[in-house]
Chain A
Amino acid sequence: MLIEAIKSRNLAFGLLFGAGIVLIGLFLQLTVGAIEWTFITYPINICLVSLFLILLVTGYIFRARIRFVRWMGRYPAAISALAWVIFLTLILGFTKQIPDDQSEKGIWGISHMLSFWPFLLVYCWLASILGLVVLSHLFPFRWRHLPFICNHLGLFIAMVSAALGNADVKQLTMNVHVGQSEWRGLDKDGIVHDLPLKICLKKFSIDEYPPKLTIVSNKTGEILLGEKTQSLSLGKSITQGTLFQWKIQVNNVIQTAAPVQLADSINYIKWSFSGATDAAYVKATNSVTKVHREGWVSCGSFLFPYQILLLDSISSIVMPGREPKRYSSEVEIFTQSGKKVNAEIEVNKPFKIDGWKIYQYGYDEEKGRWSDSSIFQFVYDPWLPFVYAGIYLMMAGAVCMFVIPEKRKEERI
């Protein structure tokens, strides 16, 4: 049966071929060790991609003489490569991946799947097939092959440039205080790098969602689920509602408050300085037992502790910390080339300058809305245009895909 499979070059042969690739990968994994992606930087990656393309083109030119190259362009090869790609990606999907900075690699290396030789080799096999079928559909070129070329060439370009360009990507984070300038960034290993840009943070602003009230268990601290609402937003108009058997009425909400200790209780007063907290005066009546409780509830801040209202032996009203709605930084950027630009950077709206993308990454979460510093992420990815070219080609191909089924039907008619 084995000989038959090899002779006929059918699906069984393809699957066996894939098993061979995986075995070679395992051998490499055990002898050479896991793949060190950090070595594949410029210009090594350029050399590798050139070598790969030369091999594919040479193979394609001499396809009449090389049976293997002809086989690679047929369905059994594509199907078996996909089967192996699915199998190895499934292992990745089912295995907890360990970050690179943790040294523990395990014998087989599947907890570092992206540096696992069989994984890489099987994807290389898929890329080779893609390259060869694109070549065979490009020469001679036919318009009806365009969707096929878009799909396969797009995936080929995106996959190859994403993999080989990976080590050239620079990702640095930078923490800047308001009114200060910074030009140094930290990489993921905590090493300081000088950037060709200097950032001056002029202003950091944050909008938050309105404070909320919710009822939690005294024992576990978990939210007690009501029938409908789980929390009561102290937004524009809501001053009363029902939470888990309790009728809640909120009389007074102060968004910038400070606690004042009285003889036997705590009062909150308006206080508009850094560190002020949210506070609400809450009246709660149990709809079953008619027990009544009232008092201040506050989420606290980096300056003041939180305040809860004990309802009974099992539950309390709390105000969870406010969630950020939008945060942004007003900055002035200076480049080495002498440019000076003003920009506003916020989440989902990075700023692009001199090949770098600057992202709003975070802020001082402990201080929350009173944060006086902003964290930026700097990303430099010289291969991005190629990956995007691949992605756009695939998008064009996908659009063609739902036009084609119609066409096939029409042809038949």
Chain B
Amino acid sequence: MSWDSFIYFALSSVAFFTLGAVFAWKGRKKWIIYSSTLIGLLILGGFIIDMWIFLERPPLRTMGETRLWYSFFLPLVGIITYARWKYKWILCFSTLLSFVFICVNLFKPEIHNKTLMPALQSPWFPPHVIVYMFAYAILGAVTILAIYLLWMKKKEIQEKEMEMCDNLVSVGLAFMTLGMLFGALWAKEAWGHYWTWDPKETWAAITWFSYLFYIHYRRGYPSKRQVPLYFLLLSFVFLQICWWGINYLPAAIGSSIHTYN
């Protein structure tokens, strides 16, 4: 299976995600919400596994491939968050965001090269990227929550909602920490050093410290709502620079060994 058949898998899984999201919004028939999201995930997951077999390597190298994982993890994080906190809007947002990433892959697929350079052939590769993409998905979800709380919610922000942000950031940051440390251990095996302040690593550190700032600020000043939420948005901007922005950043062009496109 190659990218040629992606459109069928993508659209059918989005259809199932949408069905789940609509029922969650209306607050009806829980079994439909869970089963249709699950079917959507199975379809998209099936495509990823098939790509893995077709490419004879984990599909984690190009930007298009990482976007594929991201569009898979968003509904997964959405349904876990829904199961845990029963926020009826979360599935709508995660579906919408997943759809956006699927559309980017449909309309602007990047070079889906079959080759994998020797430095990337390592058992550390799948856990490093998958854990990172999962963290990005959770932090994407919390960014949406922050936007909702800052600008879309008419009533005052409740403590319960801030706690949800805190919990999501904790989990996202935990995964991000693991992803970063897996990366350090892998770098030692592949390149000889665990941390070299390469632009990608520098931006990973900025993103990591930035979410740490949020966590400490929330604990130090629990009554403040706006400042930490704005900081969440800023942290997500740093995350985007780390993920793909450094490919366009003048300071990083030509000096990062982390760009593979």
Contacts and interface: CB of A to CB of B under 8 A. Distances in A.
B251 interface: yes
B259 interface: no
A401 B195 contact: no
B82 to A, nearest CB: 16
Interface in A381-405: 381, 384, 387-388, 391, 394-395, 397-399, 401-402, 404-405
B206 interface: yes
B258 interface: no
A85 B209 contact: yes
B170 interface: yes
B190 A347 contact: yes
Interface in B156-186: 166-167, 170-171, 173-175, 177-178, 181, 184-185
Contact of A171 (B192, B210, B212, B251): B192
A405 B173 contact: no
B115 interface: yes
Contacts of A384: 188
A198 interface: no
B251 A348 contact: no
B255 interface: yes
Contacts of B170: 401-402, 404-405
B178 A395 contact: yes
Contacts, number: 128
B111 interface: yes
B248 interface: no
A86 B206 contact: yes
B119 A83 contact: no
Interface stretch (A30-38, A49-57, A91-99, A270-278): A91-99
Interface string A78-112: 11001101100110111111000000000000000
Interface residues of A, number: 55
Contacts of A402: 170-171, 174-175
A89 B188 CA distance: 22
B115 A323 contact: yes
B4 A228 contact: yes
Given A326-B121, A384-B188, 6 more contacts: A78-B216, A94-B251, A230-B111, A397-B177, A398-B174, A401-B177
Interface of B: 3-4, 111, 114-119, 121-122, 166-167, 170-171, 173-175, 177-178, 181, 184-185, 188-195, 197, 199, 202-203, 205-206, 209-210, 212-213, 216-217, 219-221, 241, 249-252, 255
What are the 9 A-B residue pairs with the smallest beta carbon separation, nearest first?
Answer: A75-B220, A401-B174, A347-B118, A398-B177, A405-B167, A348-B122, A398-B174, A82-B213, A379-B192
